[in-house]
Amino acid sequence: MPVTVHEKTGIFHLHNDKVSYVMMVLPNGEMGQLYYGSCIHDREDFSHLLELGHRDMAPVVFDTEGEDGRVRWGSTTFSLEHIRQEYPSYGTGDMRQPAFEILQENGSRLSHLEYCGYRTFEGKEKLPGLPATYTEDNSEAQTLVLELEDKASGARLELHYTIYQDLPVITRHAVWINKSAAGITLVLSRAMSLNLDLPDSDYDMIDLAGASLRERYVDRHALHAGVQSIGSMRGHSSHQFNPFVALARTGTDEVSGEVIGLSLVYSGNFLVQAEVDTMGVTRLMIGIHPQSFAWPLKAGESFCTPEAVLVYSDEGLGGMSRTFHKLFRNRLARGYWRDRERPIVINNWEATYMKFDEAKILEIAAEAKKLGVEMFVLDDGWFGHRDDDSTSLGDWYPDLKKLPGGIAELSEKVEALGMKFGLWIEPEMVSPESDLYRAHPEWVLGSDERHICQGRHQLELDLSKSEVTDHLYETLEKLIAGARISYIKWDMNRSISDAFSRGNDALFQETVLHRQILGVYRLYERLTESFPEILFESCASGGGRFDPGMLYYAPQAWTSDDTDAAERVKIQYGTSLVYPLSSMSNHVSAVPNHQTYRSVSMFTRGAVAAWGSFGYELDATHLTEEEQEEVKAQIGFIQRWRGYLQKGEFYRLLSPFDGNETGWMVVAPDKKSGLVLAYRDRQPVNAGYRRMKLQGLDPDLAYKVREADHKTWEWLNLENGARASERQPLAHYGDELMKIGLLLSDAACGVRTSQVTQEDAQARIFLVEAV
Ligand code: DGJ
């Protein structure tokens, strides 16, 4: 059983064949953390792992010796300041950052959470109003709930732990309940989803940092004394940081070393924090950012934190990522599209921006259809009077000057071409210049007495108000039901400021940012329930809300507004630390690229975009005949390989953050084949030989390696890195490909002698197949 409880010793052991997590009821009744890591034998008693020692100045909890004979409590040794805990408080001896804080009526923030019971059950429960990982069958996981109470205030806490049977994954969340008999209101001013105290600090902290157009770059640095944190206070998970952190043992790489990965299934403000104390103990926590957060709990009310996902790997960062991928692809993403191959789309944003009419749209769609594209997506600019971004958000009715027959007729016409039709919306926003704002100025976030910031000329609707989400649901339901819509791109183009909800009282105001996200989730839930076969893609000005919370509703997300393949390799590489290929939406766009003005070959653009949900972001009527042929070949390739790429195991081979080259590959579950990307940013001159070590293959199987032709995308035989299309290729054992590597360079030092296309931003795709 993955959850073992030793009642006599107060030990709780979550374990499977990969991981162990051990806790105990401490002598003062609080919960202590004893071990988290690679699986160990179970035993009745682990209390010898509790480290106690006298330290001057430390506030001690006991002044008498224990009597149970198991642990000799020195009179001054039991100080919470030096004990590893499950969910620590502040003010009763622990001087480090707390996992929670409860403001009580008398102004006290002191608390003492005592263990009072537990329950276990098979499977995993849903979180109320929040996205979360799930099980399809109760045998996949087991859940332990620890019950604790703060007798003086009446606060009750339930710590929920689910351990998956076949994955090194433990999920956690906390539920607070006000059990006050006196009927007093408690205010939770901090409520983390997870706290994990680790015995040492020999770790590198790895997070994903960036900005719009360069999201999720890998950021790695050694832990140091004190608090180090990342987070978002922008009302969405953000371009700047992602709700993810890994602690990797010093020296850990893609294939070896111990890693603890932590992710928050949440799309709003978050905090990830590692605190290294003077004893070298690391306190790691993740949850809703406490800035501008406070949740009043009346007697009888409860509050559930978002879910934290803890992944353990002793196979380096690659092992951690593959666990996240499996879990998020199969047990976080849901619905009709979860396991289905995603359509190849063409989106008109970079083709026309907001300047289009029906004829232009149909012209692009018809041309794209000839090339093999399967779906047309109409982006921003189709509604109200939206000729630029200063107007019309909220007015979700078609601009009949551009589209005389509306969305209904356009979608019919696109379907008549033999394609599916998709539509862009941005439901959370309103333009001051819109009918909706004129009718309901009180529906936006912000206070009447103050200036309200605009972002991209838009205001944020107050989704803490159910009348607002009801209005949005009814409007969008009518729009979608009234046309032939197969896909929705749900955008969100500004960070939230002025988080004030008109007409609500003071205590309500600090709940607004969390309620805003709950409102987004509620709207997503209702729309995805009403239209289960529509493919939803989330988007936030590119990748500004690429997080696990969104994945629960939309199985794919627009990875970045930067469509330059040379930039995308970095963005996709960083994103792959946590998120599966199936969640990354990537498009081939025109050159020169609209974000970087760089021109890279059509092959490279397709070869980089191929690793995810594929599409085009260009005017298909502007392609030359040669480009049209290349696009047809790309589409044929994607149609053959997209299912394989979606479900295979992903391995990172070379990091764009370490040098000129990027490499990654997908291996089939049976290890009989692999598809490899090798990308080189700058063309070297007369350089040395370069090999790239593959991963994930069967060392004992012999494989032949072929390379995709840059025009036809057909496989060419390879021999020693060079083309050998006339001959049978050599076979290589898996161990050779993994230990010696695939030769990437050829002996050429110039176009005259090289057999490989030579260029900056050069991508190559290889197929490795067991003979
Ligand atoms: C930002 C998105 O990331 C783009 O793809 C596009 O949809 C624009 N918004 C439209 O305003």
Whether 681 contacts 596, CB under 8 Å:
no
Short-list 231, 269, 325, CA closest to 575 = 325
Q: Is the peptide bond before 592 cis (omega within 30 degrees of 0)?
A: yes
Assess whether 462 carries a catalytic annotation: no
State both tokens at 261.
């990965």
- Report CA(588)–ligand 1 centroid distance (Å): 15
Phi, psi (degrees; rounded to nearest 5) at 32: -110, 155
CA dihedral 663, 664, 670, 672 (to 10 degrees): -30
CB distance 546 to ligand 1 below 6 Å: no
| Residue 391 DSSP class | S
- Residue 399's contacts (CB-CB under 8 Å, 6 or more residues apart) are 381, 382, 383, 384, 385, 386, 392
What pLDDT does 175 receive?
98
Query: Of 314, 395, 399, 491, which is the active-site residue?
Result: 491
Which region, left, alpha or beta, applies to residue 507 given φ > 0 means left and ψ of -120 to 50 means alpha? alpha
- Residues with pLDDT less than 50, the chain: 64, 69-73, 724-726
CB distance 431 to ligand 1 below 6 Å: no
What pLDDT does 239 receive?
98
Whether 373 contacts 440, CB under 8 Å:
no
- Report CA(100)–ligand 1 centroid distance (Å): 38
Whether 239 contacts 212, CB under 8 Å:
yes
State both tokens at 545.
């809300």
Helices (H) and strands (E) in the chain, counts: 13, 40
What pLDDT does 333 receive?
98
- Give the number of other CB atoms < 10 A from CB of residue 515: 22
Ligand 1: nearest atom to the Cα of 389: 11
Query: Of 277, 399, 462, 561, which is the active-site residue?
Result: 561
Assess whether 137 carries a catalytic annotation: no
Ligand 1: nearest atom to the Cα of 379: 7
Please tell me the distance from the alpha carbon of residue 305 to that of residue 514, in angstroms, as a whole number.
10
In single-letter form, the type of residue at position 405 comes to G
Whether 100 contacts 142, CB under 8 Å:
no
770 bridge partner residues:
703
Please tell me the distance from the alpha carbon of residue 298 to that of residue 240, in angstroms, as a whole number.
36
What pLDDT does 726 receive?
47
CB distance 561 to ligand 1 below 6 Å: yes
Buried b (16+ CB within 10 A) or exposed e, 443-467: bbbbeeeeeeebeebbbbbbbbbee
CB distance 383 to ligand 1 below 6 Å: no
CB distance 424 to ligand 1 below 6 Å: yes
- Residue 275's contacts (CB-CB under 8 Å, 6 or more residues apart) are 96, 97, 226, 227, 228, 282, 283
CA distances from 324 to 328, 332, 553, 701 (A): 6, 10, 17, 28
CB distance 36 to ligand 1 below 6 Å: no
- Residue 555's contacts (CB-CB under 8 Å, 6 or more residues apart) are 333, 334, 335, 337, 338, 535, 536, 582, 583
Instruction: Give the position of tokens 């996992």.
Output: 99
> What is the 3 state secondary structure string of 298-347?
CCCCEEECCEEEEEEECEHHHHHHHHHHHHHHHHCCCCCCCCCCCCCEEE
